[in-house]
Amino acid sequence: MKKTVINSLLIVLIAGFSIWLYTYDEAAKPGPLSNAHDFISDCETCHIPWQGVTDEMCLQCHSFPDVAAFKPELRFHEEHEHCLDCHTEHLGRAADISSVDHTLFHPDLACTKCHVDVHQGRFGDDCRACHGITSWEIEGYVHPPADDRNCSKCHKAPASHREPEFWSRILEGHQIATDRVEEPPVEECWHCHTTWRWDHLIMEHDL
Amino acid sequence: MLKERSVNAYLALFFVILLTGILFHQDRAFPGSALGHSLGILGSIFMLMALIYPFRKRILKKKGRQNPLGRHIACGLIGASLVVIHSAHVVSSLIGILLFLSVVLVILSGSTGYFFFKKVNLSLKEQKRDYDLLKQHIKKQRQNLMAACRTDDSSDISLLRPRVLTSPWAEKDDCERWLEELQILAEKEYSIRFFERLKIVFSTWHNIHFVFAVLLFALLVVHVLTTIYYGLRWLS
List for chain A the helix, strand, coil content (%; round to 5): 40, 5, 55
Give the model's confidence band at A176: pLDDT under 50 very low, under 70 low, under 90 confident, else very high: low
A136 belongs to a structural domain: no
A95 lies in the same domain as A81 = yes
Report pTM.
0.69
Give Cβ neighbours of residue A199 (< 8 Å, ≥ 6 apart). Answer: none
A100 belongs to a structural domain: yes
Across A3-107, where does the E strand assignment appear? 47-48, 52-53
A168 three-class SS: helix
Helix (H) or strand (E) segment spanning residue B160: helix B157-166
A134 belongs to a structural domain: no
* Chain A residues near any Cβ of chain B (below 8 Å): 3, 7, 10-11, 14-15, 17-18, 21-22, 24, 26-31, 43, 47-54, 82, 84, 88, 90-91
Task: Nearest chain A residue to B233 by CA: give it.
Answer: A52
* A28: chain B residues, CB-CB within 8 Å: 93-95, 226, 229-230
Side-chain-side CA neighbours of residue A169 (13 Å): 8
B175 touches chain A (CB under 8 A): no
Q: How far is CA A90 from CA B14, B34, B84, B89, B225, in A?
A: 31, 19, 20, 16, 19
Lowest mean pLDDT among A49-63, A68-82, A169-183, B151-165: B151-165
A2 belongs to a structural domain: yes
pLDDT at B4: 74
User: What ipTM describes this predicted complex?
Assistant: 0.71
What residue segments make up the domains of chain B, in order of their start? 7-118+204-230, 124-197
Task: Nearest chain A residue to B28 by CA: give it.
Answer: A91
Strands A52-53 and A47-48: antiparallel
The answer to whether B43 and B79 have CB atoms below 8 angstroms apart is yes
A135 belongs to a structural domain: no
A113 lies in the same domain as A193 = no
- The list of chain B residues with pLDDT below 70 reads 1-2, 150-172, 233-236
A58 lies in the same domain as A94 = yes
For helices B157-166 and B94-149, the axis angle rounded to 10 degrees is 40
A20 lies in the same domain as A9 = yes
The answer to whether A47 contacts B230, with C-beta atoms less than 8 Å apart, is yes
The answer to whether B236 contacts A17, with C-beta atoms less than 8 Å apart, is no
* End position of a domain, from candidates A61, A96, A129: A129
A62 lies in the same domain as A93 = yes
A19 lies in the same domain as A33 = no
pLDDT at B196: 85
The rounded distance, in Å, linking the Cα atoms of A116 and A131 is 14
A166 belongs to a structural domain: yes
Residue A106 has pLDDT above 80, yes or no: no
Q: Convert the pLDDT of each residue in B206-225 to its tens digit.
A: 888 999 999 999 999 999 99
The size of the A-B interface in CB pairs under 8 A is: 73
Number of domains comprising chain A: 3
A101 lies in the same domain as A180 = no
Task: Nearest chain A residue to B232 by CA: give it.
Answer: A52
Domain around A19: 1-28
Our CA angle for B19, B109, B115, nearest 5°, is 100
A1 lies in the same domain as A41 = no
B218 touches chain A (CB under 8 A): yes
Which residues pair with residue A94 across a beta bridge?
A: none
